[in-house]
Structure 1
Amino acid sequence: MVNLIKPYLIQALLSDFIVELKRKYADKKRIKNKLNHQVTVYLALDDPYSYLLLQTLAELQHRYQIEFDFRTVLNKQTEMFPAPELWANNAFQDGVFLAKLYKLSFPEQPPKVSQQQTFTATAQLLHNELQPEYLTKALEIFSSYWQGDNGTLASLIDPVIQNHNECYQQHLNSNEAMLKQHGHYQSAMLHYGGEWYWGVDRLQYLEKRLNNLQLSVDQKVLFDQTHNIQQSGNALPVANDEKSPLIIYWSIRSPYSYIGLLRAKRLAAHFQVPLVVKPILPMVMRRMLVPKTKRMYILQDVNREATALDIPFGKVADPLGQGVERCYALFEYATANQLGVEFLLTYAQAVWSKGICSETDAGLKHIVEKSGLNWFEAKQYLDDNHWKSWAQNNLLALYQHDKWGVPSFSYENTTVFGQDRLLQIQFAIASSQQEG
């Protein structure tokens, strides 16, 4: 009974009505307490996304009637980052791409800074939080840190703080506890009126919200370029072995994978390149942790992305367990019938937007037939465990690209993590075809 009700509960929680209700409540509370429009900003010195976000805030403050409450953080919540080194490497690569996209400052190589320098500079940032002009001072520290100017960085740190940085440990702990208490786990986060906005990638949603509140001088949205990929409706990607394929490492349990597959299909069709999907097991089924806080933020964030991209989402029937197994058991059968991508898309739409319980025969039959396959034939493959081997092999292939999560996309020499980076894949395909 709970599984039947849950899709409707999630749909209600993610509905425009509830989102708007929460926003109105937050604004009434602000007015009652006679507060200005305040955005809490969580920044970590060693986080590329924080450095990029910091560079946008002066312009954001100029355009909107808002105040910032800066909170310096540093330590990552270990349960939220299963592969911290790969995450850091990927974040730097993202930084290079986003800096070029939005004309921001960012180095071509990671800075060589010691752990002690990072903590001492963080202590200075913590000290500056309680003084005027934090934004200006933070920009100087972040810029010298990321540009590898250790001399300037040292000159920006008060000698007293240099020798007493341990005195700022509790201040740091307090900021990190506040981040966790309010329901998040990453730096480069903006928190306004009960909602989270991550880095430059999600600034557009804050801009739109502030525009709706009539807080802007121009009603423009400046940070929305990552949505501008070229797409060709529902056309099928070309099946041509002579062309390099667009490969997606994918999981049926990842809502980002659902959005990413639909966008990748349209992108591949636009450029007429083959699309190859390599499913892998969800993290939980690989005996890894996905805390509730992370799951809830992901659902809310995907809901925003899906709405912006006009993709149905929200009536969720989590396929974890049997739903995943049945999906992967039938994937080879679907692929043999030239319907592999269509089957996965239909399956993803069913569990992420229609609330269909794929662990039941009735639900799976609907998915199979909707994707153009024969249910009588398909159900004969449900006990085939061959997928367990290729799913783990796909995971190894993902690791070989120095990526760890889904969806990840690969085209020739370019591999990116996250559907946010499909624009980078588009640039790679376009460049390759121009050279060809």
Structure 2
Amino acid sequence: MTLSRRQVVAGFGALAAGPAVAEAVPAVPGGVTAEGLARDESHWAAVARQFRVSPDFVNLENGYYGVMPEPVRRAYHRNVDRLNEYSSHLLRTTYKAEADQVRDRIAGVLGVARDEIALTRGGTEALQNLVTGYARLRPGDHVMYADLDYHSGQYAMNWLKSRRGVQVVRIVIPEPATRQAVLDTYERALREHPKVKLLLLSHMNNRTGLVVPVRPIVSMARARGVDVIVDAAHSWGQLDFTLPDLDADFAVFSLHKWMGVPLGAGFLYVRRHRLADVDLRYADETYPATDIRSRVHSGTTNVAPFLTVEAALDFHEALTAGAKQARLRHLRDRWVHQLRDVPNLEVLTPDEPGMYGAITAFRIRGRTTEADNTAIADRLMNEHRIFTVARTGMTGGDAVRVTPALYTSTQDIDRLAAALRDLCRQARNA
């Protein structure tokens, strides 16, 4: 992927709304590819200097919350001060117009219209609102999700059984996964369960980081009369795509993960002509039923994160989505490829192009319980000062998740590879 002159100019030379961001992001030589830039350590060292992180440990658990770069952190502090200073006056006067501007900006980056976007306090709230508000289910219908889907999404789908009278179908994504195996799994599941009306689909799941081919799955579901809610909380900002690339009617996003917005920000998307298929949230009368914002009711919300969205999108666009994706995949590949010869290390995310980003999970063969993998994560932290997290819910057994970030260095990655090689050797000799 070559970064065009247009991308470079748009990213680095035309940030009038965010001059602090333009100064913070190092320039990219013309004609360089995203993959070539991913290996430019001086470039990413300059990017890393825009993140304030603790030197006490190597943080490879960046899937939970994405650290704000310095221009965004400073903007957030200004917005917190502004909110505190102007209080209700801000909320009752200019905030709604400013929130619409934020929605415009998000919609522009995502490739959709503002009236298809509603802000939420995170991806989870957005997901719960769409799942529980989906209005086309009738008693006897079925809903479906996979073992790798987000646990809060699974809980919301399970809730539909008692509230809507539906049956819940849980499918298993094969290990090791391939694009064709994933497509075959969904095709077979939809064929074998013709009563399914709603499918939850993670673009990139938070357990193993597997990226699924959303567009063809949405197409095969639509052909069978099945609606799909796409969970893109982890993929947007980590992968280079727009929503039309996925062709989804319903989707949810986080802003405080890979976009670097302060905690407490996300949004849901409903294609304009499908809005009537989602119930008003708590029969909300703040907005007319034709306004997507009537599908969210969060009460009085901390608006400072939303006021900071534009600064975060400035930083994202200055880096470019393609360069971010390439760098994060490069960091993931660096540790995975170093350990391919370790016989008792199972990497759960495939190397197949398009099937992964930064997030990758591993297990040491025979260590499949939550306790096993919590102990591995504890050893990485206590003995090597590397922070990771144990993940549960995979049918094949629990694992440890590794998630680098834009500030992660190749030295950090090499340190992880050495530590895992040592842990696996000790496990073989135990």
**TM-score bucket of the superposed structures, by smaller chain:** under 0.3
More helix by share: 1
Structure with the greater alpha carbon radius of gyration = 1
Normalising by structure 1, what TM-score? 0.26
* RCO comparison, higher one (Cα < 8 Å, 6+): 2
